[in-house]
Amino acid sequence: MSKTILEFIQKASIKGEKLLAILLDPDKTSLEKLPEISSKIENLNANFIFVGGSFVKNGITDLFVEMLKKHTKLPVILFPGDFSQLTNHADALLFLSLLSGRNPEYLIEQQIKSVPFLKNSALEIIPTGYILIDGGTNSSVLKTSKTKPIPQKNIELAVDTAVAGMYKGKQLIYLEAGSGAKFPVNSQLISAVKKHITIPLIVGGGIKTKEQLNNAYKNGADLVVIGTAFENNPSFKF
Ligand code: 1GP
Distances (CA, A) of 237 to 67, 164, 207, 213: 25, 36, 13, 11
Inter-axis angle of helices 187-196 and 155-167, to 10 degrees?
30
84 lies in a domain? yes
What is the average pLDDT score of the chain? 96
Task: Look at the chain and report how many structural domains it folds into.
Answer: 1
What pLDDT digit, counting tens, does each position of 46-73 carry?
Answer: 999 999 998 888 889 999 999 999 999 9
Task: Give the other-Cβ count within 10 Å of 126's Cβ.
Answer: 19
CA of 14 to the centre of ligand 1 (A): 24
**What's the average model confidence in pLDDT over 193-202?**
98
Domain that holds residue 219: 5-232
Within-domain flag for 238: no
Ligand 1: distance of its center to the CA of 225 in Å? 6
Q: Residue 125 is inside which H or E element, if any?
A: strand 124-132
Domain assignment present for residue 136? The answer is yes
In a domain, 31, yes or no: yes
Which residue out of 22, 140, 226, 236 has the highest number of ligand 1 atoms within 8 Å of its CB and is therefore the one to mutate?
226
66 backbone dihedrals φ, ψ, rounded to 5°:
-60, -45
Please report the pLDDT score of residue 122 as a whole number: 97
Mean pLDDT of the 149-161 span? 98
Tell me the pLDDT tens digit for each residue of 159-177: 999 999 999 999 999 999 9
Contact status, residue 202 vs residue 222, Cβ threshold 8 Å: yes
Contact 26, 61 (CB under 8 A): yes
Nearest-atom index, ligand 1, CA of 181: 8
Q: Is the CB of 180 under 6 A from ligand 1?
A: yes
Residue 83, amino acid = F
pLDDT at 1 over 80: no
Provide the CA 180 distance to its chain's centre, in angstroms. 14
Chain segment 82-99, per-residue pLDDT in tens: 999 999 999 999 999 999
pLDDT tens, residue by residue, 109-128: 999 999 999 999 999 999 99
SS3 call for 172? strand
What pLDDT does 58 receive? Answer: 81
Helices 187-196 + 210-218 axis angle, to 10 = 30
* pLDDT (mean) for 211-224: 98
Pocket test for ligand 1, best of 50, 134, 207, 213 (most atoms within 8 A of CB): 207
Number of the ligand 1 atom closest to the C-alpha atom of 203: 4
